[in-house]
């Protein structure tokens, strides 16, 4: 079985535990061993770089060094914020010897040599595993459920690093969804920002962003939104729940939730109740959930 390093980040062991569960179920079914890096720490996400640049690099660099120490050549980070911070730290250190020396001085006795390839979940599914391999494991097609793929603003805009997908019009998630029998719809908000961590500090701003995203999904007739980012999922899901009276609420699921169904993974009934907007009704309408 293929081995790849795994960095769950803070969200997948707290607010997005259901995402962690579905990721492990899907990757096990696809024959990939996710090896969680021991003693990983928070990547700094959206706050560290606003405080201190060296700190913002040292936090992910420590985890990257531990990944090398474990003999792993690649590291999967499902959260878009974590992926962005880990990738940027790795690339900046590889491209600047003096910066690398200073960052390694902070994380001493650990030392990052720059050998880890930082991956997000779409990159691994499409380019490491392959859509044909995913299709080969199909147990139950998704019955043409109409979905919109929500990439968010961080996933493909990788700052000075070539993206795994088109940075302005990504299609990888749409291709995966189509391969397992869903109907991905074209829409205008696939890369719009949800507000990220500003949801905790600037609720009014985040509400406006999430309202626009949900309206765009409704306007194309989507039955559900699909994402790979726990920050995006939380912001849009919470807003949709608080504003159900606006008639724009649709469930927002993780890509691996739907892949789990398609590949015959046994996700417990309670798994679906982790969302504020319960997707069970939509799934039952398509006979995807009993």
Contact indicator for 170, 155 with CB cutoff of 8 Å: yes
Supply the pLDDT for residue 199: 64
- CATH value of 2-121 in 3.40.630.30, 1.20.1050.140, 3.40.50.2300, 1.10.3720.10: 1.20.1050.140
Supply the pLDDT for residue 43: 92
Supply the pLDDT for residue 191: 95
Question: Which overall architecture, per CATH, does domain 141-285 show?
Answer: 3-Layer(aba) Sandwich (3.40)
Residue 14: helix, strand or coil by DSSP? Answer: coil
Q: What is the pTM of this model?
A: 0.94
Supply the pLDDT for residue 270: 82
Q: What is the pLDDT of residues 36-53, one digit of tens each?
A: 999 999 998 867 666 789
The residue with greater pLDDT, 225 or 203, is 225
User: How far apart, in whole angstroms, are the C-alpha atoms of residue 152 and residue 70?
Assistant: 31
Over residues 14-28, mean pLDDT: 96
The residue with greater pLDDT, 153 or 163, is 153
Q: How confident is the model at residue 156 (pLDDT cuts 50, 70, 90)?
A: confident
Contact indicator for 88, 161 with CB cutoff of 8 Å: yes
Supply the pLDDT for residue 49: 67
The residue with greater pLDDT, 267 or 202, is 267
Supply the pLDDT for residue 98: 97
Domain ranges of the chain: 2-121, 141-285
Supply the pLDDT for residue 161: 66
Q: Do 2-121 and 141-285 share a fold?
A: no
Supply the pLDDT for residue 219: 97
Whole-number average pLDDT of the chain: 93
Q: Name every residue whose Cβ is closer than 8 Å to that of residue 122 and which is 6 or more positions away in sequence.
A: 155, 164, 165, 170, 172, 173, 176, 228, 255
Is it the case that residue 200 has pLDDT exceeding 70?
Answer: no
Percent of the chain topping pLDDT 70? 95
Q: How confident is the model at residue 278 (pLDDT cuts 50, 70, 90)?
A: very high
For β-strands 74-76 and 2-6, DSSP reports them as parallel
Q: What is the pLDDT of residues 65-120, one digit of tens each?
A: 999 999 999 999 999 999 999 999 999 999 899 999 999 999 999 999 999 999 99
């Amino acid at each position: 079985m293929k081995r790849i390093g795994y960095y769950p980040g803070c969200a997948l062991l707290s607010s997005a535990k259901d995402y962690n569960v579905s990721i492990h179920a899907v990757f096990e079914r696809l024959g990939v061993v996710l090896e969680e890096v021991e003693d990983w720490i928070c990547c700094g996400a959206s706050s560290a770089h606003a405080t201190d640049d060296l700190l913002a690099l040292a936090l992910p660099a420590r985890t990257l060094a531990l990944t090398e120490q474990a003999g792993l050549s690649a590291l999967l980070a499902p959260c878009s914020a974590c992926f962005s911070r880990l990738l940027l730290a790795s690339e900046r250190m590889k491209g600047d010897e003096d910066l690398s020396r200073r960052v390694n001085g902070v994380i001493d006795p650990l030392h990052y040599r720059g050998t880890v390839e930082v991956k997000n979940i779409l990159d691994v599914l499409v380019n490491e595993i392959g859509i044909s391999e995913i299709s080969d494991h199909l147990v139950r097609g998704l019955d043409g459920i109409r979905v919109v793929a929500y990439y968010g603003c961080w996933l493909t805009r990788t700052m000075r690093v070539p993206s795994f997908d088109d940075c302005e019009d990504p299609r990888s998630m749409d291709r995966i969804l189509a391969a397992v029998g869903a109907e991905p719809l074209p829409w205008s908000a696939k890369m719009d920002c949800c507000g990220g961590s500003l949801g905790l500090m600037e609720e009014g701003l985040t509400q406006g962003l999430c309202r626009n995203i949900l309206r765009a999904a409704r306007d194309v007739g989507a039955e559900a939104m699909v994402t790979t980012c726990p920050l995006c999922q939380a912001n849009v899901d919470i807003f949709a729940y608080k504003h159900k009276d606006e008639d724009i609420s649709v469930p927002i699921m993780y890509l691996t939730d739907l892949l789990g169904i398609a590949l015959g993974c046994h996700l417990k009934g309670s798994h679906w109740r982790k969302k504020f907007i319960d997707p069970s009704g939509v799934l039952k309408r398509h006979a995807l959930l009993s």
